[in-house]
């Protein structure tokens, strides 16, 4: 039986293709790349799909992709339902979200730690409690500090950013997913 991996993209459905919804964008790109059909799953409150895929690490992985319908700051009940209905182990879950603290097009991978002022991540940490040992894929969206953060994250993302996460950025995401699977198999 292949190892399981759950990738959750945080975002806001009313604001697709914005910097704030980069988690949704990346889950959509992964679904297209691996031909994973997702459909609305009312029991968990979002769009969910699963397939066995081959990652760069030559590992076959049972990959579940999830995009919550709820706004990211209150998505933790949907994320928890999906976690408990699929992999059960937080260490096999990846939360993909925007990061104002990282430069544009940068992927920063972290296991455990704080939410770094990200309310969507904070809600997941709060829901998990002491078991908050999940991976975070912090996607750099940059930030012009002269601009109010809400005014920066809600407009549509520049086209070059979308193109990046459909090509070179996607390769990096897949590489990091493979590394997580390899680490989890040695534990």
One of 20, 24, 97, 118 is an active-site residue; which one? 20
Taken as a whole, the chain contains a residue count of 187
pTM: 0.94
Q: How many CB atoms lie within 10 A of CB 104?
A: 15
Architecture of domain 4-186: 3-Layer(aba) Sandwich (3.40)
Q: How many CB atoms lie within 10 A of CB 145?
A: 8
**Cα angle 153, 154, 157; round to 5:** 75
| Distance between CA atoms of residues 65 and 33, nearest Å | 12
Partners of 67 in the β-ladder: 47
What tens-digit pLDDT sequence spans the chain (187 residues)? 788 999 999 999 999 999 999 999 999 999 999 999 999 999 899 999 999 998 865 678 999 999 999 999 999 999 999 999 998 889 999 999 999 999 999 999 999 887 677 888 899 988 888 777 899 999 999 888 888 888 899 999 999 989 999 999 999 999 999 999 888 876 5
Domain boundaries of the chain, sorted by first residue: 4-186
| Distance between CA atoms of residues 17 and 10, nearest Å | 12
The question of whether 37 is a catalytic residue gets the answer no
25 token code pair = 């964008």
Q: Are 36 and 48 in contact (CB under 8 A)?
A: no
């Amino acid at each position: 039986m292949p190892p399981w991996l759950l990738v959750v993209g945080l975002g806001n459905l009313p604001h697709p293709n914005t910097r704030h919804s980069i988690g949704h964008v990346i889950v959509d790109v992964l679904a297209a790349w691996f031909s994973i059909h997702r459909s609305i799953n009312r029991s968990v409150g979002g769009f969910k799909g699963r397939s066995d895929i081959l990652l760069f690490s030559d590992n076959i992985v049972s990959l579940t992709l999830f995009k919550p319908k709820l706004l990211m700051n209150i998505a933790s009940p949907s994320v928890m339902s999906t976690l408990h209905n699929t992999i059960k182990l937080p260490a096999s879950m990846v939360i993909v979200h925007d990061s104002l603290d990282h430069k544009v097009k940068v992927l920063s991978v972290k296991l455990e730690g704080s939410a770094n002022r990200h309310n969507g991540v904070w809600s997941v940490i709060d829901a998990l409690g002491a078991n908050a040992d999940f991976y975070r894929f912090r996607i750099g969206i940059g930030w012009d500090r002269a601009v109010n953060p809400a005014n920066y994250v809600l407009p549509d993302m520049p086209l070059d950013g979308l193109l990046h996460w459909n090509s070179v950025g996607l390769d990096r995401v897949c590489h990091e997913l493979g590394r997580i699977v390899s680490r989890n198999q040695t534990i």
